[in-house]
Amino acid sequence: MKHKQLESFNLDHTKIVAPYVRHSKTMPVPESNYEINVYDFRLKTPNIVLLTPQTIHTLEHLLATAIRTVFPERCPGCKVIDLSPMGCRTGFYVTILSPVGGLALQQVTDAMKALIPEAHAIEELPGATIETCGGYLEHDFDDAKRELVLLMKQELVALQNPPFLS
Ligand SMILES: [Zn+2]
């Protein structure tokens, strides 16, 4: 069986520099005025220094918690469906339900900028017990906080024209 090539596998990962936010796809929600948009929230430039499994896991808990507060304030009418880690450990996929055509990339990027200090301000790691997490010992709170401080000092770019492989 021939598989369809994923859009992200056509992105030239040697030509992208993190941190950035990129819109990767839009899916209409049938019989509604809403659509689902998926974004890359890339924290690390690919194939240089990856986040450790512990650090990306802790960042997932912090960012997934904080985004539910930040996003509705920044993008009224939008709902966060998901924030989940990339398997390559360089960032996250962010999935948002929004009114059709109602969400600009810069607006999402600004919301992600606001998300970073909000996640950093969380003092106790949410959902990190044996009952609430599938790998509760695989966390690194200090390193995740260090990564968030680093991100606050960097410029988060709205990547308007991503480099694709021809
Ligand atoms: Zn977990």
Distance 58 CA to ligand 1 centre (A): 7
Distance 57 CA to ligand 1 centre (A): 6
- Asked if the structure places residue 26 within a domain, the reply is yes
> pLDDT of 71-118, one tens digit each?
988 888 899 999 999 999 999 999 999 999 989 999 999 999 999 999
- Asked if the structure places residue 61 within a domain, the reply is yes
Backbone angles phi, psi at 2, to 5 degrees: -90, 125
pLDDT score recorded for residue 76: 86
- Asked if the structure places residue 10 within a domain, the reply is no
The average pLDDT across 147-151 equals 98
Inter-residue contact 105 to 160 (CB < 8 Å): yes
Adjacency order of strands within the sheet including 20-28: 79-85, 91-99, 34-42, 20-28, 157-158
The average pLDDT across 146-152 equals 98
> pLDDT of 7-66, one tens digit each?
778 899 999 999 999 999 999 999 999 999 999 999 999 999 999 999 999 999 999 999
Q: 148 is in which domain, residue-wise?
A: 19-157
- Asked if the structure places residue 120 within a domain, the reply is yes
Residues with CB under 5 A from ligand 1 (ion): 133
- Asked if the structure places residue 147 within a domain, the reply is yes
Residue 142 identity (one-letter amino acid): D
Q: What CATH number did the domain enclosing 46 receive?
A: 3.30.1360.80
- Asked if the structure places residue 35 within a domain, the reply is yes
Q: How many independent structural domains does the chain possess?
A: 1
Cα(5)–Cα(158) distance, integer angstroms: 25
Structure tokens at 108: 């999402």
Distance 127 CA to ligand 1 centre (A): 7
